[in-house]
Amino acid sequence: MNYLEFKNRMFDLGCFNIHQVYAWKPGFDRNNFSRWTDKGLIVRLRRGYYTFPEYKGKPDFVLYFANRIYRPSYVSLHAALAFYGIIPEAVIQITSVTALKTASFSNDFGEYSYKNVKEDLMFGYDLKPIEEGRTLQLAKPEKALLDLLYLYPFYNTEQELDGLRLDEDFLEDDLNLGVLGEYLERFGNRSLENRVKLLIKTYGL
């Protein structure tokens, strides 16, 4: 198998898995995956999933790969809040929500963490357009906040919530309290309701 032929076929996928390769070339030599990875010609994202090193210079693809290597999932929690500028820190770990079991992967693009929720809580995300006509499944700000408080129940004091350093201009001007309340109702979780009330009190919303 010629590497250039392989790259021409797979590059535009952004991220590809071994099943896509075998569907194209049933006789593909699987040793090429390890050989080309060792040479830096492809990058392993997780078992059976790969990309090309050229995508390291495209920031949106760090998040896009989160959607692709563990599905169904959408980017949420700290990663989504950082994307919107609601928290000041750049995040090291890309956090997502999934109906599958909790999982984590480490690769050259970063640390990927997936938190499990019930399937009926897999809502409240948008398809955000990124480069080359692709879309990214990203939690809306209101859902990212609720996912955070739901999955990290230690955010249950004013001190802990204040430590998030949520952007007050965003909370005042852009956070939709109506949507927040609508989404909160769908969780049906009294403890989460109490944490949201405390969040509203802490930031004077």
Kindly compute the dihedral angle of the four CA atoms of residues 132, 99, 94, 196, in this order, to the nearest 10 degrees: 110
Among candidate residues 12, 32, 56, the one where a domain is terminated = 56
Mean pLDDT of 18-30: 96
Pairing between β-strand 15-17 and β-strand 135-139 as defined by DSSP bridges: unpaired
pLDDT band at 94 (very low <50, low <70, confident <90, very high): very high
Mean pLDDT of 82-99: 91
How many domains, in total, are found in the chain?
Answer: 2
Does one domain contain both 11 and 75? no
Does one domain contain both 33 and 117? no
- Measure the CA–CA gap between 143 and 86, rounded to whole angstroms: 13
For 110-131, how does the pLDDT look when each residue is reduced to its tens digit (9 = 90+)? 999 999 999 999 999 999 998 8
- Measure the CA–CA gap between 116 and 137, rounded to whole angstroms: 16
Does one domain contain both 79 and 14? no
How high is the mean pLDDT of the chain? 95
Mean pLDDT of 158-171: 95
Q: Which residue has the tokens 């944490």?
A: 195
Does one domain contain both 65 and 150? yes
Angle of the 190-202 helix axis to the 177-187 helix axis, nearest 10: 160
Does one domain contain both 119 and 129? yes
Q: Domain of 32?
A: 3-56
pLDDT at site 142: 98
- Measure the CA–CA gap between 181 and 193, rounded to whole angstroms: 9
Does one domain contain both 43 and 127? no
For residue 201, what are the contacts with CB-CB under 8 A and spacing of at least 6?
Answer: 158
Does one domain contain both 46 and 62? no
- Is pLDDT of 90 > 80? no
For 43-52, how does the pLDDT look when each residue is reduced to its tens digit (9 = 90+)? 999 999 999 9
End-to-end CA distance of the chain, in Å?
60
Among candidate residues 37, 56, 75, the one where a domain is terminated = 56
pLDDT at site 57: 83
Does one domain contain both 66 and 116? yes
Does one domain contain both 29 and 67? no
Q: Which residue has the tokens 């929720």?
A: 117
Does one domain contain both 122 and 99? yes
Q: Which two tokens stand for residue 164?
A: 């998030």
> Global pTM?
0.92
Does one domain contain both 43 and 122? no
Does one domain contain both 84 and 178? yes
